[in-house]
Copies of this chain bind each other. A is one copy, B any other.
């Protein structure tokens, strides 16, 4: 056998999201891009022209070999200082460059932290629905995912089940706020209650339990909704951030980990994570884009939220008008819609016949729902509406 035994489960459960993305490209080639309504992937459609301006300036101003060369495995010192300073200003924290590790996106940041902390058999708790890639990241280091059932009323954290399932083998807990796939934002009191339970259980079991806060959608919250900064509520918190959404650069693979001094043995963990970043083969986060995000922070550049909010308002109001059921999302750029038929994969197939692509909830451990990514053009949403209406009629939803 050429392929390792351990790769087989990954191949059998290959990403349905990615498969849908590839399917979208296939259909677009046949029917034309404008006739395929691809809501499958969180691939932003809103340009941030200031990113390109920063690139132009930087390549003009900086020394070629410093700009494109190796730096410390943790990233450029000045970039990490700027990130730390910006977090301190926004959230009243006291980070310095040493608390910031630049990573190849949040996905790589999560791999780095799990490699750093997980022993074989350690449990990592996730709240359904959740980004299934977490399962792969945890399995990479022989950890075991423990799922908390979804609360399909509010899509808030089910803290009762959490309290029951957290145990002496629990090494980490992942939250994702604002949430993919629901778009829900966990408010302060939810984070506070989660933190209280984790502190209590750390004491009860005499263990350290890391709260891994995956925050690629931090900046995407609408109508003034606040996204709590988790390190303030719980000592053993590690934040994984990505610029994929806030600067619309998911292909560039840039993000960071925050490992606060409040984390137990923080110095050792920072060292471990820096080595993990190197030895997993990333070596360092891509260099030019590090410098770019520094300038964007200094200039207060972030993606135009109004575009996404306008998208959300249109698609949410129309779909509910057509009879679909869905919690109104306060953040991210997803709707998590109840499938009109129990087998939501069948619903996805029906939608595909209308050239509408979205992803089954079973890809997020929450069957019976589908995720619609509205990080597309307003025009695509408008053009897709007749198809959604036709789907609603097909399932007898229309009022």
Q: Name the one of B11, B269, B272 contacting A275, with C-beta atoms under 8 angstroms.
A: B11
CA–CA, A71 and B236, complex, Å: 35
Chain B CB within 10 Å, residue with most, of A48, A136, A269, A283: A283
Contact call B2/A279, Cβ cutoff below 8 A: no
Of chain B, the residue at the smallest CB distance from A47 is: B64
Q: Is A49's beta carbon under 8 Å from chain B?
A: yes
Q: Mark A30-73, 1 if CB is under 8 A from B, else 0.
A: 00000000000101111111011001100100001101111111
Q: Select A4's contact among B108, B115, B250, beta carbons within 8 Å.
A: B115
CB distance from A373 to the nearest CB of B (A): 11
A179 CB within 8 Å of chain B: no
Q: In the complex, what's the smallest C-beta–C-beta distance from A49 to chain B, in angstroms? A: 7
Which residues in B have their C-beta under 8 angstroms from that of A268? 2-3, 11
Whether A3 contacts B283 in the complex (CB less than 8 A), given A41-B70, A52-B59, comes out as no
Q: What residue of chain B has the Cβ atom nearest to residue A120's Cβ?
A: B6
Q: Are B104 and A282 in touch, CB under 8 angstroms?
A: yes
Check if B43 sits within 8 Å of A275, measured CB to CB: no
Is B279 a contact partner of A137 (Cβ separation < 8 A)? yes
Chain B residue at smallest Cβ distance from A266: B2
**Chain A interface residue bracket vs B:** 35 or more
A264 CB contacts on chain B under 8 angstroms:
2
Smallest CB gap from A107: residue in B? B281
In the complex, A21 has a CB within 8 A of chain B: yes
Knowing A48-B64, A70-B43 are in contact, say whether A111-B281 is a contact too (CB < 8 A): yes
Q: Is A91 an interface residue (CB 8 A)?
A: no
Give Cα A116–Cα B8 distance, bound, in whole angstroms: 9
Contacts of A278 in B (CB 8 A): 15, 18, 107, 133
The residues of B that contact A105 with a CB separation of less than 8 Å are: 281-283
Q: How far is the CB of A250 from chain B (nearest CB, A)?
A: 5
Answer whether A68 and B2 are a contact pair too, CB < 8 Å, given A52-B59, A281-B107, A281-B108.
Answer: no
CA distance A47 to B113 in the complex (A): 34
Decide if A124 is an interface residue (CB 8 Å cutoff): no
A52 to B137, CA, bound (A): 35
List chain A positions with a Cβ less than 8 A from chain B.
1-7, 10-11, 14-15, 18, 21-22, 25, 41, 43-49, 51-52, 55-56, 59, 64-65, 67-73, 104-105, 107-112, 115-120, 122, 133, 136-137, 140-141, 208, 210, 236, 248-253, 263-265, 268-269, 271-272, 275-276, 278-289
A-B contacts, 28 of them at CB < 8 A, read A2-B236, A2-B264, A3-B265, A3-B272, A4-B118, A4-B141, A7-B116, A7-B275, A10-B272, A10-B275, A11-B268, A11-B272, A11-B275, A18-B278, A43-B69, A47-B64, A52-B59, A52-B64, A56-B59, A68-B248, A68-B250, A70-B251, A107-B278, A108-B282, A133-B279, A253-B253, A253-B287, A280-B281
